[in-house]
């Protein structure tokens, strides 16, 4: 069967790249012909050397000074871009044509028997992708099957002004699955009471399958890994406290350097991301996928809430496996007890089996 998936696959975010790879790899293992639609609207284009993000500076002379001031940092950031581009070229099978808008997709859609939207925060209406009809498969021709796999609203509710749009778009799906159980009531309020919860695509691949694409670790010292999607003082304080107590070095794999760490690895590839989680003694993050890979590799970890309103996905994941105590604020005493993966892993496997069954039934 010919399958085309659409997701935010090329936004230079570790989780986004890895979930796209995982879904494609699992579907291909079932014998399907799978491609990721290379969808890249302007709002998803990053790493522009000459852009002026703030209109205040968009005047001929000020603009030149602004760009010159920003250029050194942007050139350094291109190291990270290069690593992500290499991952995309090696591991993601994209359509030969790149699309830049939903209208372009509607005019000349890539041919498929089944179109799959997901996973990750594709329906987060705080971001532009959640307001883009392409991520609701609006372009899929009549007579083809439209499926959402592990799509995420990421928040407790849809932005009010976009509710009519989202409600209308959701009616076009043949079947819908969400990544967070906690979002099923929201889906129902938007007119779909047939949704099911499934696991994120990264869980569809076993630890052994992930290991196959990872290099052998050359790191000899024991370390705590920080993955911070915002400049969180709470993450800093927790990481310093745990590292001191457990006599660990602190490694950083966030999107920007951190002054308090022993080793900065912020310009890392998706492969580096998975490897560093696999080999860490402890992970402190506010990231869904850092948490997911911690679970896959049976690592000790804790999660810190973000300041932005997208914590539902982490909370849902932890509640699913009885690990709410891993969501911490200031009390770190609860982290002194190791995670009992003997109890957690059977629950994960049950979810994986149900998620695979959902996908297989979809294609019947």
Q: In what order do the strands lie in the sheet with 263-264?
A: 263-264, 249-252, 223-227, 282-285, 300-303
The pLDDT value given to residue 218:
81
Output b/e per residue, 301-336; b: 16+ Cβ within 10 A: bbbbbbeeebbbbbebbbebbebeebbbeeeeeebe
Instruction: Please give the sequence-ordered ranges of beta strands (E in DSSP) within the chain, or none if there are none.
Output: 2-6, 33-39, 94-99, 114-117, 145-151, 175-178, 196-197, 223-227, 249-252, 263-264, 282-285, 300-303
- String of DSSP letters for 113-160: SEEEE-SBSTT-TTSGGGG-GGGGTTTSPTTSEEEEEEE---SSS--G
Q: Are residues 11 and 144 in the same domain?
A: yes
Following CA atoms 33, 38, 44, 47 in sequence, which dihedral angle do they give, to the nearest 10 degrees?
110
Q: What are phi and psi of 264, to 5 degrees?
A: -100, 120
Look up the CATH number of the domain holding residue 255: 3.40.50.2000
pTM over 0.75: yes
Q: Are residues 266 and 339 in the same domain?
A: yes
Q: Give the count of domains, the chain.
A: 2
The per-residue pLDDT string of the chain (364 residues; one tens digit each, 9 = 90 and over) reads 999 999 999 888 999 999 999 999 999 999 999 999 999 998 887 655 444 444 544 556 565 554 455 444 555 566 788 899 999 999 999 999 999 999 999 999 999 999 999 888 999 999 999 999 999 999 999 999 999 999 999 888 999 999 999 999 999 999 999 999 989 999 999 999 999 999 999 999 999 999 999 999 889 999 999 999 888 899 999 999 999 999 999 999 987 889 999 999 988 999 999 999 999 999 999 999 999 999 999 999 999 987 765 567 788 889 999 998 898 876 787 788 999 999 999 999 999 999 999 999 988 7
Q: What distance in Å separates the CA atoms of residue 212 and residue 221, rounded to the nearest whole number?
A: 23
In the DSSP assignment, the letter for residue 327 is B
- The SS3 assignment for 5 reads strand
Q: Are residues 35 and 163 in the same domain?
A: yes
Q: Are residues 218 and 185 in the same domain?
A: no
Q: Are 5 and 24 in contact (CB under 8 A)?
A: yes
**Single residue among 161, 182, 205 that ends a domain in this structure:** 205
Q: Is residue 198 part of a domain?
A: yes
- String of DSSP letters for 255-286: SS--TT-SEE--S--HHHHHHHHHT-SEEEES
Q: Is residue 60 part of a domain?
A: no
Q: Are residues 184 and 330 in the same domain?
A: no
Q: Are residues 191 and 241 in the same domain?
A: no
Tokens of 114: 């089944």
CA 170 to the chain's CA centroid: 21
Q: Are residues 20 and 141 in the same domain?
A: yes
Q: Are residues 195 and 254 in the same domain?
A: no
Q: Is residue 51 part of a domain?
A: no
End-to-end CA distance of the chain: 10
Q: Which residues span the domain enclosing 307?
A: 210-345
Q: Is residue 69 part of a domain?
A: no
Q: Are residues 234 and 142 in the same domain?
A: no
Q: Are 122 and 8 in contact (CB under 8 A)?
A: yes
Q: Go through the chain and tell me how many residues it has.
A: 364
Q: What are phi and psi of 320, to 5 degrees?
A: -55, -35
């Amino acid at each position: 069967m010919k399958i085309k998936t659409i997701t935010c696959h090329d936004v230079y975010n570790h989780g986004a790249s890895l979930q796209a790879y995982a879904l494609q790899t699992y579907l291909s293992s079932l014998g399907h012909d799978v491609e990721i639609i290379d969808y890249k609207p302007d709002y998803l284009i990053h790493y522009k050397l000459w852009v002026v993000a703030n209109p205040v500076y968009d005047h001929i002379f000020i603009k030149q000074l602004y760009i010159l001031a920003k250029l050194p940092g942007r050139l350094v950031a291109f190291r990270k871009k290069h690593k992500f581009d290499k991952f995309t070229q090696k591991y993601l099978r994209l359509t030969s044509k790149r699309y830049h808008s939903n209208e372009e997709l509607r005019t000349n859609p890539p041919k498929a028997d089944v179109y799959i939207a997901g996973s990750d925060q594709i329906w987060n209406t705080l971001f532009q992708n959640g307001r883009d009809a392409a991520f609701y498969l609006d372009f899929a021709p009549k007579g083809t099957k439209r499926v959402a796999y592990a799509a995420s609203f990421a928040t407790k509710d849809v932005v009010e002004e976009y509710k009519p749009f989202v409600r209308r778009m959701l009616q076009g799906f043949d079947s819908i699955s969400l990544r967070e159980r906690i979002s099923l009531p929201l889906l129902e309020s938007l007119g779909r009471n047939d949704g099911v919860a499934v696991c994120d695509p990264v869980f569809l691949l076993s630890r052994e399958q992930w290991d196959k694409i990872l290099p052998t670790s050359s790191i000899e010292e024991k370390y705590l890994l920080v993955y911070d999607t915002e400049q969180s003082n709470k993450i800093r304080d927790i990481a310093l406290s745990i590292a001191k107590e457990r006599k660990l070095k602190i490694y950083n794999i966030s999107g920007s350097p951190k002054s308090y760490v022993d080793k900065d690895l912020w310009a890392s590839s998706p492969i580096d991301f998975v490897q560093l989680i696999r080999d860490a003694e402890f992970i402190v993050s506010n990231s869904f996928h850092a948490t997911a890979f911690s679970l896959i590799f049976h690592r000790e970890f804790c999660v810190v809430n973000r300041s932005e309103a997208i914590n539902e996905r982490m909370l849902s994941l932890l509640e699913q496996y009885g690990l709410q105590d891993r969501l911490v604020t200031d009390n770190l005493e609860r982290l002194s007890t190791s995670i009992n993966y003997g109890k957690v892993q059977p629950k994960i496997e049950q979810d994986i089996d149900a998620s695979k069954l959902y996908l297989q039934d979809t294609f019947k």
